[in-house]
A and B are shown apart, each in its own frame.
Chain A
Amino acid sequence: MEKRVVFHGKLLPYLLLAPQLLITIVFFYWPAGQAVWQSFLVQDAFGLSTEFVWFENYALLFSKPEYYKSMWTTAVFSTLVAFLSLSIALLFAVQADKHIKFATGYKTLLIWPYAVAPAVAGVLWLFMFQPSLGLVSQAIRALGFQWNPLLDQDHAMALVVMAATWKQISYNFLFFLAGLQAIPKSVIEAAAIDGATPMRRFWTIIFPLLSPTTFFLLVVNVVYVFFDTFGIIDAATQGGPAKGTETMVYKVFSDGRSGGDLGGSAAQSVVLMVIVIALTAIQFRYVERKVQY
C-alpha cells in the first residue's frame, strides 16, 4: 500500500518545498544561469567595460591546445581514480563481507576517509609525499627512487590520483558492501555446490549481480573526479607542475580567478555543466531502469 499524505489547499505543500527550492535556485540555477550569461561576454582587463560577443569565448576555448590538454589530463585522472577506487573498494568490500573478526571496526576504519574534507586530504597527502620533508617521500628516496611531485608531472599526477582514490574508496566500499549483502546467500551456496571455485563464483555470479551497483558508482565516481577533486588538486599541486595536473575544473578556477578571463572561464563551466548533465541522463536512463538482468 502506498502511503500518501493528502494536503488540503496548495499553500502548505509549497511552503514545505520552499527551503529546498530556494537553496536549489540560489546555489545552483542562479550561478548556472550567470555562468551561461558570462560565457557570452568579454570583459576588459580592468573590468570597466563588458561586451556581448556571442560564442566567441567558446570558439577561442576550443581553438586552444591547452584546453585539449586539460581534457586529456582530466580523462587520465578520472580513468585512473575511477578504476582504482572502484577496484580497491570492491576488494575491500568482498573481504569485509566474509565473516572475519573485528568486522565492525574494519568497516568503520574504511568509512572514515570519506568524512575528510578534500582540501584536508590533499594537504595530508602533500605532507606525506612532500619531496624533502614527507615521511613517505623519504622512504621512497631511501629505496633509490627519485620522487619529486613538485617537479615531475607524472609524480604529481600519481600523488593526486592516490589522494583522490583514497578519499573515494570509502564511498564505493559502502555501496559495494550493501550490494554484496543484497545477493542472497543461497545463490552463492548453490554456486558452491555447483562446483564453482571461489574465483569463478566471483566472476560468474557475484560480479554480474553487482553490475547495477558498479555502473551507478562509475557514474558517481566520474562526477566526483570531475568536480569534487578540486580541493585535493588545489591543496596538493595547484594544477602543477607546468599544468601537469590541471583538470578541466581546475582550469576553470585558474583561468577565471588567477587569469582574470571570466568569459573564457564561464564558457568552460558551461562545457562541464553539459558533461555532468549528460552523465546524469545516462545514470537515470540505465541505473534507474535497472537493466542489468
Chain B
Amino acid sequence: MSDVRLSEVRKVYAGGVEAVKGVSLTIADGEFCVLVGPSGCGKSTLLRMVAGLETISGGTCAIDGRVVNEIEPAERDIAMVFQNYALYPHMSVYNNMAYGLRNRGTPKDEIDARVKEAARILEVEPFLERKPKALSGGQRQRVAMGRAIVRKPKVFLFDEPLSNLDAKLRIQMRVEIKKLQRALKTTSIYVTHDQLEAMTLADQLVVMNKGRVEQAGRPLELYERPATLFVAGFIGAPPMNLITLPPEGLPGLQLANKPTGKVVLGIRPEHLFEQGSKSADLSLEFTVQAVEAVGAETYIYGALGGNGTEIILREPGKASPALGTRLKVGASAANLHFFDPETSQRLA
C-alpha cells in the first residue's frame, strides 16, 4: 500500500500570493493521477509540495499513511522526473542511475543489478557509459525515468516530463510511460498542461484552475459530465462550444427544453450534426467563416447569428462548405450541458 492523501493543502508564498488554495485529493495505491490545468494554476506547486521541494503552508500531505509535511524529500521515498530531466551532467548514465542508490548505501552488487535491469527496461543499455550531453532528448528522458525506477520508490512524481520533446517522440514516450506504470504498479502523480496527455494517461484526472481543484475523476467522466464551465472548456479538443443564452433566447437557435433564466449552453463540436430532415432537440444556424481539413475530419468554424458566438463543428471525413454559407446544425438533448453563468457550476 502506498497511497497519497492530500487534505486541505495550501501554499502561500512569502509575498502573500496564495498559489494553492486548499486542495484535498486521494490517490489510491497504484493509481496514475494526472494534474492538469493552465500555467499558474498551482499544479506544479502542488507536486513539489508532495516531493518536499516546497514547504506546505497549510493542511497535510500523507504518503502511505504517514504525514510527510516536515519530512525531507530524501526520506519520503519518492522519485521525481523533471521537465528538463535534471540529469547530473558530469556523470555517466550508469552513475546517474546509481547515484540515489549509493547515497542510500545499497550494496554494490544490488546497485549493479538494479541499474542494468532499469537500463534493459528503458532500452538505454548501449549508452550506460555515456554522459548525458551525448544523448538525444528522448534518451535523456529515458535515463531520467531510469533514475526514478531503480530506487523502487513508493510514488513517482512527473513534472511535465514530455514538454521538451518533439510531437512524435512525445506520443511515443507517453505510451511508454503508461505501459511502464502499468507494469510497475507504482502510484504516480503526473503534472501536465496538455489535456490530451492528461486524458490518455490518467486513471484519475484532476483539473486545476487558480489554485483550486475544479473537478477530479475518471477522464471520460470529466469529458461526459464537466462539473464547471472551466472543465467544459479545458477538456476536449477542439473545445466545447459555450453559448450564453439569455432568457428570451437567441435568433437562429431553437431549443426543446431550456432551463429557466440565463444559462450557458455547452455542446461539443463532435456532437453537432448537419441537420437535414432529421429532427433535433437543439438546432442552430451559423455562418461558415473558416474550414480546416485535417484528413480524417474537418473542423468548421462559424459565428452564431444572434450574438456572434464562435461555433466549432467537427465533421467526420471531408466536407467543404463554401465560406459565408449558412449551416443549420442540430444536437440531441443527451449531449447538451447547461451551466450557471454566475457560479459557472453545472446545472442538473
Contacts and interface: CB of A to CB of B under 8 A. Distances in A.
B168 interface: no
A187 B88 contact: yes
Contacts of A187: 86-89
Interface residues of B, number: 25
A195 interface: yes
A195 B74 contact: yes
A136 interface: no
Contacts, number: 63
B78 interface: yes
Given A186-B86, A209-B89, A193 B73 contact: yes
Given A186-B86, A192-B73, A194-B99, A293 B131 contact: yes
26 contacts: A184-B84, A184-B86, A186-B86, A187-B87, A189-B51, A189-B73, A189-B82, A190-B86, A192-B72, A193-B51, A193-B74, A194-B74, A194-B99, A194-B103, A194-B151, A195-B103, A195-B104, A196-B74, A196-B99, A196-B103, A197-B103, A205-B88, A209-B90, A211-B90, A293-B90, A293-B131
A255 to B, nearest CB: 46
B162 to A, nearest CB: 15
Interface centre among B89, B104, B131 (most CB of A within 10 A): B89
A293 B82 contact: no
B147 interface: yes
B133 A293 contact: yes
**Band of interface residues on A:** 20 to 34
B99 A191 contact: yes
Main secondary structure of the interface of B (DSSP, over half): loop
Contacts of B83: 186
Contacts of A293: 89-90, 131, 133
B100 A195 contact: yes
Nearest to B79: A193
Contact of A194 (B52, B90, B147): B147
B53 interface: yes
Interface string B261-291: 0000000000000000000000000000000
B98 to A, nearest CB: 10
